[in-house]
Amino acid sequence: MNRSLRVLSFLILSSIVTVLTYSGCSKTTVVLLKDPEGKVGHLVVENEAGSVDITKENEATTIAGATSKPAAPKRYSEDKISSQFGEALNMLPTQPKHFILYFKSGSTELTDSSKAQIPDILKTIELRSSEDISVVGHTDTAGNSAYNMRLSQRRASVVRKLLIGEGVRADHIQSTSHGEANPLVKTADNVNEPKNRRVEVVVR
Amino acid sequence: MKKIAKMVCILVVSLVPTLGHGAFQAIGIIKSVEGEVYLISSSTEIQAVSNMKLISGDNIITGNDGSVGLIFKDDTVVSLGPNSQIEVQDFVFNPAEEKLSFAARLVRGTFSFITGQIAKLAPKKVKLTTPDATLGVRGTKFVVEVK
């Protein structure tokens, strides 16, 4: 056997060993669950050997290595899911909560119904021990864009101060403003649209 | 349809907190920590505690008794059980410029997910890989084990 043939056969042999080791050692399991809104999503699990869709609650597939085809979907019991994934699932954070506060036209005064939402925001911050709160100011398109940028900054600042006044730490709040650039309801310029005069508060 | 997609975009944009620009923009936080958890960020390994900020490229590793919960800027939430490792390869959430990406490697262990805005707006931009397969994610809640 000449030298190059020997090198080639070594390479082939070692890659076979690698593939065998890899597929023998590693295994992936994926299980689709019902989300907090009661919906069940859709996953496509694939590798070079094939692809499987899982679309039903508690449906699972296993993949025994990168070169073996994902197994046909199989339903997992709640018990099996909690024994295999309980520790991870227990640590899954609640998804961030979004609040939208509205303002009176051209002003930094909250509408009455939005004022009434402040206690909810404070309660959410407390319940989640949140240290990551975003306050983002917006306006409608009435008035020019420079004016609206300043107005959205003032709106964000009013909400920020309101939260700080209620005991939220200033360094836990990031506030920004988008002026009239990100309307909730798209309108022509110079349109008075109550839904766009808002500050969004995100509690993480 | 296009109009609806645009509306959703606008809605989401308005929800995005704008941080400073640059390479070290925070993409999320470590929300909760139990037991031994490490964060490897820019080649430095530190013990993870709640409210640490995450950046693209970070690895999070849990020990025998460790578990951890993460919140990303697009509202995706992720948790790791014991003896687990995730590498957040790339995370971009800038719907205004339609720049969206969430790529992560699930190295080993157990994981749970509820996907957020990126999976809603651009499901193809979510790429989760394990040593055995890639996961195409059209939402929303699921668990993964890599042994």
Domain ranges of chain B: 2-146
Q: What is the assigned CATH class of domain A97-203?
A: alpha beta
Give how far A7 is from chain B: nearest CA, Å. Answer: 28
Angle at the Cα of A141 from the Cα atoms of A139 and A142, rounded to 5 degrees: 100
Closest C-alpha to B60, from B70, B74, B75: B70
Q: What is the pLDDT of residue B6?
A: 53
Closest CB to A93: pick one of B31, B133, B144: B31
Q: What is the pLDDT of residue B116?
A: 94
Other beta carbons within 10 angstroms of residue A181's beta carbon come to 17
Q: What is the ipTM of this complex?
A: 0.84
State pLDDT tens for residues A111-153. Answer: 999 999 999 999 999 999 999 999 999 999 999 999 999 999 9
Determine whether the interchain pair B71/A96 forms a contact, defined as Cβ–Cβ distance below 8 Å. Answer: yes
Q: Could you tell me if A149 lies within 8 Å of chain B, comparing CB atoms?
A: no
Per-residue tokens: B18: 């704008």
What are the residue ranges spanned by the domains of chain A? 26-90, 97-203
Interface-testing mutation among A43, A55, A91, A141, with chain B (most B C-beta atoms within 10 A): A91
State pLDDT tens for residues A38-94. Answer: 999 999 999 999 999 999 999 999 999 999 999 999 999 999 999 999 999 999 999
State pLDDT tens for residues B41-64. Answer: 998 999 999 999 999 999 999 999
**Helices and strands (H, E) in chain B, number of each type:** 2, 12
Determine whether the interchain pair A46/B116 forms a contact, defined as Cβ–Cβ distance below 8 Å. Answer: no
